[in-house]
Each structure stands twice: as C-alpha cells, then as structure tokens.
Amino acid sequence: MSAGDVTTEGVIAAVGAKRGYLLPYHKMLATHDPALLAAYDAFYQQLTLTEKVLPPREKEIVWIALLAAAREGVGSLHLKRGIAAGLTLEEIAAAVALSAASESFAAFAFAAEHWSEWTPDAVTTAGYRALVATARGPIEPRVAELALVLCHAARKGEAAMRLHMTVYFGLGGTPAALSEALAFLFLPLGGNMLIDAVEIWHRAAADLGLPPPFVE
C-alpha cells in the first residue's frame, strides 16, 4: 500500500485486526496522519511481531522483565503473548523477579564503593549473583542474562550491563539475539535509550573482548 492509498478507515482496521486492540495514539494518527500510522505499524510488525532470532517464549520473558524495569503497565499484552507462547505462571513470575533482583545491583555497588573494608567488590558481586540465581527460577540462565541486560539498559546501568553481557555471551548468547532484544527499548523508552545501550555495548566489546554490536 502506497502512502497515497492509505485511508483512516483502512489503516485503523488493519492495526486493530493485527493487534486486537487500539490505543489512543493509533486513533489520533489514523485521523490526522494515516500514512504515518501505516509506516509505524510496519515498523512495529518487524520489531516485535515477526519471529526472528528470539523464539516467542524467550522474547516474552525479555519483554516482561524490561516492562517491569520500565514500570510500563500498558505492556500487559506481553503477559498474554507469553501465555500464548507457552510460558507458565512460574516463568512469568520469575521474569518479574529478575527485574526486581536487577534493582539490587545499585545497593551492592554502593556498599562496594563506600564500605569496601567490610563489603569488597568480590563479596557484593557474589551477593548480587546469588540473588539473580534465586530469582531466575525455571528460566534458562542464558535467557535470564539477556533479560537482565535489558533491565539494566532501561536504567543506563553500564557496569551491570557489562557484567551480564559477559555472562550472556559466555553462555552462548549471540549478537543477533542481543540486537533484537535491545531494539525493544524503542517502544517503552525511546530511541535515545537505545542509543545509550548500543554505545555501552560498543565500549564493552572493545574493553572486554565481547562480540561487538556492529562492524566498524
């Protein structure tokens, strides 16, 4: 469909049929700029509806953890998609628990910086990793590490992203899957957050010998 062929009625029907819901901004764009809504809908389709590297179950685990980190309640549709993809309630709860555990990183880092005589970095890192191991429950470690990268990307947490990317790649994670997951930041947090996340990955790749996000 070319831009000249896009109509308010046609694009709103297509968006509603594809997603099963309509948001206020869908209706606004359909009214005032249906071509933009059609272009956005194609972007959304490729971003998260089209199956690429991440299997549906893994994709929804990452989404749930990210949305909890971003405090984005509108994203509850991803819990429904998770169930449709075969996630159990225990796995959904574990995805939320991973997001919650990620928030403890800042407290551990504070203790390592200010009370290093009593809580050196090795001790606080071990404590954090123990919380993560408990929180992930039935979720595969590689998938849990990917979800945690996204949780920390939502807060521009460079040190924590470096930690989890190192473990993620060590467990067999791939740059293509990490790229797909980081692109999810577009929706709840915007393009600027994605810029920061990719820059953190780029620096970490150079400093730690990790697979890079792109070839120079």
Would you list the domain boundaries of the chain?
1-50, 53-208
Identity of the amino acid at 177: A
Question: What is the three-state SS of 40-99?
Answer: HHHHHHHHHHCCCCCCHHHHHHHHHHHHHHHCCHHHHHHHHHHHHCCCCHHHHHHHHHHH
Ranking 7-11, 63-67, 156-160 by mean pLDDT, the lowest is 7-11
CA nearest neighbour of 179 among 91, 62, 81, 73: 62
Residues constituting the chain: 216
Percent share of the chain, pLDDT over 70: 98
How much is the pTM?
A: 0.92
Q: What is the pLDDT of residue 2?
A: 43
Residue 50: both structure tokens together: 């089209």
Give the span between the Cα atoms of 130 and 56, in whole angstroms.
27
Ranking 10-19, 60-69, 188-197 by mean pLDDT, the lowest is 10-19
How large is the average pLDDT for residues 194-201? 98
Band the pLDDT of 55: cuts 50, 70, 90: very high
Tens digits of residue pLDDT in 143-181? 999 999 999 999 999 999 999 999 999 999 999 999 999
In angstroms, the Cα distances linking 55 to 71, 114, 203 are: 24, 42, 28
Give the span between the Cα atoms of 83 and 92, in whole angstroms.
9
Q: What is the pLDDT of residue 202?
A: 98
* 194: Cβ contacts below 8 Å, ≥ 6 apart: 182, 183, 185, 186
The CATH architecture annotation of domain 53-208 reads Up-down Bundle (1.20)
How large is the average pLDDT for residues 70-76? 89
Q: What is the pLDDT of residue 3?
A: 44
In angstroms, the Cα distances linking 186 to 82, 180, 194, 200, 210 are: 20, 11, 6, 16, 24
Tens digits of residue pLDDT in 81-139? 999 999 999 999 999 999 999 999 999 999 999 999 999 999 999 999 999 999 999 99
pLDDT over 50 at 6, yes or no: yes
Mean pLDDT across the chain: 94
pLDDT over 90 at 1, yes or no: no
- CA-based Rg of the chain, rounded to a whole angstrom? 19
Give the span between the Cα atoms of 155 and 165, in whole angstroms.
15
Q: What is the pLDDT of residue 212?
A: 98
